[in-house]
């Protein structure tokens, strides 16, 4: 329905390409995109404002202006801040030293408390706890029955002295449950309460009374991940009205972007402990801040890619290369170094998998063979420094020597040199057209076609060698064969 | 208010359609017992339209004898909270609408339109702006297809109720049943949520509160389509006016579960046409409600939307985009957990509530 943030940001970034620095206006443009993305993800406006304010402050600071790729750096900051809020003080459920540990569930109507109670009970039981479920939702028709059915399914007893449907006192039930749990030595008590609105004073008072009666070790605020702008109001009401020690996000198996997670975490300051991800009683897992951050931003794992790229690439080195390319001084030595950088990045396939919307490049990379790099290394290592910096001197005799020295064939040496020449040519083109502002600015990656322009030119060049020498032509075409043809002409400088 | 056609009830069902005209003229509209409306209504409840239909609308050869009725008055009442805790500032309106879940685009659109309207009218005072906004929203929210389709005379009317988990489907059915019963309709409920624990029992509780008949699965986990089929069967055999089928909550991205709705539809259509497919949307939901409506409309041919939980702090602004983007009318609103906390959606009442002077509680 909406373009996602990565699409939108790449548009913004396109305009920023070639800029070494982001101006305050550039940053504001980026922030507008981020604001919109967050709002579309249902992060509450109040929280969006606070959040973008923080981003702006950091983005104007040193770390961005010094970065080689300032725009990406902004995204990185967004991600950091998101994770800081979502996973700030990640922690496990806290258990009381004097059992029973009491867990009270609270939240709006229909948020998924009762189902969660069942899941929690099952999960605790599997960890050798002896949980007791307490049916303190005496409001909603047959909430008690529902809990009883769930308890039976997971083999956990349910304390349900009242039938509910508007009859019975939930405070008394909760209090009696604790006494019963102590007497019968249950290790954990899970109190399911009725859904209530934050503005319903009477019901909020009841929640406080239940809390005071059971003295919970955890008050878990159960939040539907589809919640909209109201999340701030609801979170405030529960935080101030009952107190929240931890948050559980439900219905995460849906396709909501889950911005409510950010709102609730910001307002309550409480950690998000669990995700509820389905109707089955096993659909329950710890909360992963990273996943949530990318989900809210709808960015695939682009940020992980950036991180990975930043670790692997020496930015200064990339800059130096870019300058060299622009000056037409690209050598086999540089070619080798780039190859090695790619290798350092780890599995290309893995990295490509993280990038949203790069199908073409992905296919190409699927065919990428790391052994190729090893062979390239061997060949270039067998060259003299002169040959590496001035490939023009590579005549037949030299090529023969190199082949022997590297344990390869002359054809393979020829293939490599042909690829190098193409890469050099292409990079010159790219360098003249301005450096795309991508992580590490590695020409090898740009040559991959996914990021850069100039793709078509290369496609044409790769149709085949036009050499008049049949042997040479065959060799060069063979060289193309393990490279670009297989990758259906997507135009890698390396024939990857 | 909307008028509906329901089965004419005498000691014995009347088979001859000729009687209808006579009955319609002769019999007064079923007596309306107004529900006690909450005393402190936020906005003045609109007066029920008194104009009586002089001549009955021509009825398309209904299979059974029918009579024209109204439903007892229900009001949004306290449901909608004001958007404004202080005077309207045109420059803040966009943000305020975003906070009310109107969404970024609609918020911009409405605030621009209000600015233009204010300019044109030379309006600048708080009161003038509120009035303009109320009129603007009312105009944009008003649709001609907002009435429940209970007037084509094809009895029994079958209503299918669908939506995501916890939206308020079962509760809505309880309230709607009570309302219809208060208007002397014969109601059969179908518990086709055979999945969620105690869902059948929950509907049974509502059935007894509303004095409606219930068809439940004969065994646990029975195919919901077969429950739907049996519900219609009972409605037919007992000459009921209406059959309302509760379905299990499902998230719109679960293909198998969504396909199941098609199956339920087909089971119903073996014996009767479907009068309404109501999609229940929780007002506290944000932009995902659009995705919900889109998906449910595709597989289940949704004919109307029910916005629930408008009694909370959520303003339900998403209903604006639901109508605009998906061209689906909002027909009903839920404003509480009580059996009478329910009303037809009135754009005017809603708009009035949003611009009211009252402070947020
Ligand atoms: N405050 C308020 N609560 C409501 C309203 N409508 C429903 N609820 C509550 O929301 C919760 C869920 O309602 P249900 O009717 O069980 O929802 P459902 O869609 O049938 O749920 P599933 O069948 O579990 O998917 C219950 O606690 C209801 O009491 C409303 O208009 N206002
Ligand atoms: Mg239900």
Report which protein residue has its CA nearest ligand 1's atom 5: B309
* Strand pairing report for A284-286 and B187-192: unpaired
Q: Write phi, then psi, for B317 (nearest 5 degrees).
A: -60, -20
Q: With an 8 Å Cβ cutoff, are A227 and B202 in contact?
A: no
Lowest model confidence (mean pLDDT) among A465-479, B3-17, B213-227 = A465-479
CB-count burial class (<10 Å; 0-12, 13-18, 19+) for A385: exposed
Task: Please give the mean pLDDT across all residues of chain A.
Answer: 76
Give B163 Cα–ligand 2 centroid separation in angstroms: 9
What is the pLDDT, as a whole number, of residue A226?
94
Distance from CA of A20 to the nearest CA of B (A): 32
Number of the ligand 1 atom closest to the C-alpha atom of B202:
16
Residue A26 pLDDT grade (very low, low, confident, very high; cuts 50, 70, 90): confident
B354: its two tokens: 């949003």
Q: Alpha-carbon distance A4 to A40, whole Å?
A: 9
For the segment A305-318, what is each residue's pLDDT rounded down to a tens digit? Answer: 444 444 444 555 56
Closest CA to A246 of A159, A140, A120: A120
The HSE-up count of residue B61 (CA atoms within 13 Å, CB side) is: 0
Paired with B276 in beta bridges are B159
What is the pLDDT, as a whole number, of residue A75?
74
Tell whether B95 lies on the interface with A, counting CB pairs under 8 A: yes
- Predicted confidence (pLDDT) at residue A127 exceeds the cutoff of 80: yes
Choose between B146 and A449: higher pLDDT: B146
For the segment A233-271, what is each residue's pLDDT rounded down to a tens digit? Answer: 999 999 999 999 999 999 999 888 889 999 999 999 999
DSSP B65-120: -EEEEE------GGGSPPS-SS---HHHHHHHHHHTT--HHHHHHHHHHHHHHHHH
Pick from B201, B202, B284: CB nearest A108? B284
Q: Is the pTM of this model over 0.80?
A: no
Specify the length of chain B in residues.
361
Residue A120 pLDDT grade (very low, low, confident, very high; cuts 50, 70, 90): very high
Lowest model confidence (mean pLDDT) among A86-90, A91-95, A113-117, B213-217 = A86-90
> E strands along A403-483, which residues?
none
Choose between A49 and A90: higher pLDDT: A49
CB A134 within 8 A of CB A190: yes
What is the pLDDT, as a whole number, of residue A320?
66
Lowest model confidence (mean pLDDT) among A19-23, A478-482, B293-297, B349-353 = A478-482
CA B286 to chain centre: 19
What is the pLDDT, as a whole number, of residue A343?
62
> Is the bond preceding A100 in cis, omega lying within 30 degrees of 0?
yes
For the segment A437-488, what is each residue's pLDDT rounded down to a tens digit? Answer: 333 334 444 333 333 333 333 333 334 444 444 444 443 443 333 333 333 3
Q: What is the mean pLDDT of residues B22-38?
A: 40
For the segment B160-188, what is each residue's pLDDT rounded down to a tens digit? Answer: 999 999 999 999 999 999 999 988 899 99
What is the pLDDT, as a whole number, of residue B111?
95
Q: Alpha-carbon distance A255 to A225, whole Å?
A: 9
Pick from B100, B286, B337: CB nearest A226? B286
For the segment B264-275, what is each residue's pLDDT rounded down to a tens digit? Answer: 999 999 999 999
Q: Write phi, then psi, for A432 (nearest 5 degrees).
A: -70, -35
What is the pLDDT, as a whole number, of residue A423?
74
């Amino acid at each position: 329905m909406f373009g996602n943030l990565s699409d939108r940001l790449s548009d913004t970034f396109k305009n920023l390409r070639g800029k070494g620095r982001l101006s305050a206006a550039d940053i504001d443009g980026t922030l507008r995109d981020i604001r919109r993305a967050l709002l579309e993800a249902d992060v509450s406006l109040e929280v969006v404002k606070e959040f973008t304010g923080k981003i702006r402050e950091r983005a104007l600071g040193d770390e961005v202006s010094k970065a080689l790729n300032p725009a990406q750096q902004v995204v990185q900051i967004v991600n950091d801040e998101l994770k800081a809020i979502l996973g700030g003080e990640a922690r496990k459920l806290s258990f009381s030293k004097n059992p029973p540990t009491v867990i009270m569930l609270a939240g709006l109507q229909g948020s998924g408390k009762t189902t969660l109670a069942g899941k929690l009970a099952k999960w605790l039981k599997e960890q050798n706890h002896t949980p007791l479920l307490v049916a303190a939702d005496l409001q909603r028709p047959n909430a008690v029955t529902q809990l009883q059915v769930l308890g039976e399914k997971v083999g956990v007893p349910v304390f349900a002295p009242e039938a509910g449907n508007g009859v019975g006192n939930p405070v008394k039930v909760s209090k009696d449950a604790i006494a019963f749990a102590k007497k019968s030595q249950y290790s954990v008590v899970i109190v399911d309460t009725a859904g209530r609105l934050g503005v319903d004073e009477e019901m909020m008072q009841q929640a406080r009374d239940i809390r005071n009666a059971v003295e919970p070790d955890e008050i878990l605020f159960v939040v539907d991940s589809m919640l909209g702008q109201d999340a701030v109001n609801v979170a405030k009401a529960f935080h101030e009205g009952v107190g929240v020690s931890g948050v559980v996000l439900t219905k995460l198996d849906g396709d909501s972007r889950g911005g409510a997670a950010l709102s609730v975490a910001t307002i309550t300051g409480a950690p998000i402990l669990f995700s509820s991800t389905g109707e089955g009683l096993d659909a329950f897992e710890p909360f992963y801040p990273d996943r949530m951050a990318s989900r809210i931003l709808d960015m695939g794992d682009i940020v992980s890619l950036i991180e990975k790229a930043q670790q692997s690439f020496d930015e200064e080195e990339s800059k130096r290369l870019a300058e060299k390319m622009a000056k037409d001084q690209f050598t086999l030595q540089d070619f080798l170094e780039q190859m090695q950088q790619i290798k350092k990045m780890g599995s290309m396939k893995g990295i490509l998998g993280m990038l949203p919307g790069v199908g073409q490049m992905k296919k190409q990379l699927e065919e990428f063979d790391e052994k190729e790099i090893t062979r390239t290394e061997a060949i270039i290592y067998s060259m003299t420094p002169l040959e590496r910096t001035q490939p023009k001197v590579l005549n037949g005799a030299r090529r023969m020597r190199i082949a022997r020295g590297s344990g390869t064939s002359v054809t393979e040496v020829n293939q490599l040199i042909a690829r190098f020449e193409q890469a050099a040519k292409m990079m010159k083109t790219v360098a003249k057209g301005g450096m795309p502002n991508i992580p590490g600015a590695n020409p090898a990656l740009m040559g991959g076609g996914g990021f850069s322009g100039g793709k078509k030119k290369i496609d044409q060049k790769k149709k085949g060698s036009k050499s008049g020498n049949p042997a040479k032509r065959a060799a060069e075409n063979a060289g193309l064969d393990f490279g670009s043809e297989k990758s259906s002409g997507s135009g890698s400088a390396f024939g990857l | 208010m909307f008028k509906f056609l329901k089965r004419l009830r005498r000691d014995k069902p009347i088979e001859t359609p000729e009687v209808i005209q006579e009955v319609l003229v002769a019999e007064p509209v079923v007596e309306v017992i107004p529900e006690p409306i909450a005393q402190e209504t936020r906005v003045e409840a609109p007066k029920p339209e008194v104009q009586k239909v002089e001549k009955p609308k021509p009825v398309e050869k209904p299979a059974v004898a029918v009579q024209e009725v109204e439903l007892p008055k229900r009001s949004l009442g306290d449901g909608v909270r004001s958007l404004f805790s202080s005077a309207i500032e045109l420059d803040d309106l966009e943000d305020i609408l975003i906070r009310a879940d109107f969404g970024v685009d609609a918020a911009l659109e409405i605030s621009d339109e209000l600015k233009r309207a204010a300019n044109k009218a030379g309006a600048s005072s708080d009161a003038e702006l509120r009035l303009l906004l109320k009129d603007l929203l009312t105009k944009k929210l008003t649709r001609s297809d907002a009435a429940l389709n209970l007037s084509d005379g094809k009895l029994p009317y079958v209503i299918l109720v669908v939506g995501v988990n916890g939206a308020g489907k079962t509760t809505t059915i309880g309230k709607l049943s009570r309302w219809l019963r208060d208007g002397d309709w014969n109601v059969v409920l179908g518990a086709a949520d055979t999945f969620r624990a105690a869902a059948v029992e929950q509907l049974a509780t509502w059935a007894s509160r509303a004095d409606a008949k219930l068809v439940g699965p004969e065994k646990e986990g029975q195919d919901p389509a077969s429950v739907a089929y049996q519900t219609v069967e009972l409605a037919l055999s007992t000459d009921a006016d209406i059959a309302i089928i509760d379905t299990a909550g499902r998230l719109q991205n679960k293909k198998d579960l969504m396909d199941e709705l098609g199956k339920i539809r087909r089971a119903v259509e073996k014996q009767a046409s479907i009068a309404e497919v109501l999609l229940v949307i929780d007002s506290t939901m944000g932009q995902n409600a659009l995705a919900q409506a889109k998906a449910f409309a595709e597989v289940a041919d949704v004919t109307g939307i029910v916005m629930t939980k408008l009694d909370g702090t959520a303003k339900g602004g998403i209903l604006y985009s639901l109508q605009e983007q998906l061209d689906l009318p909002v027909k009903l609103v839920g404003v509480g957990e009580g059996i009478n906390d329910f009303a037809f959606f009135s754009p005017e009442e809603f708009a009035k509530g949003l611009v009211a002077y009252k402070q947020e509680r």
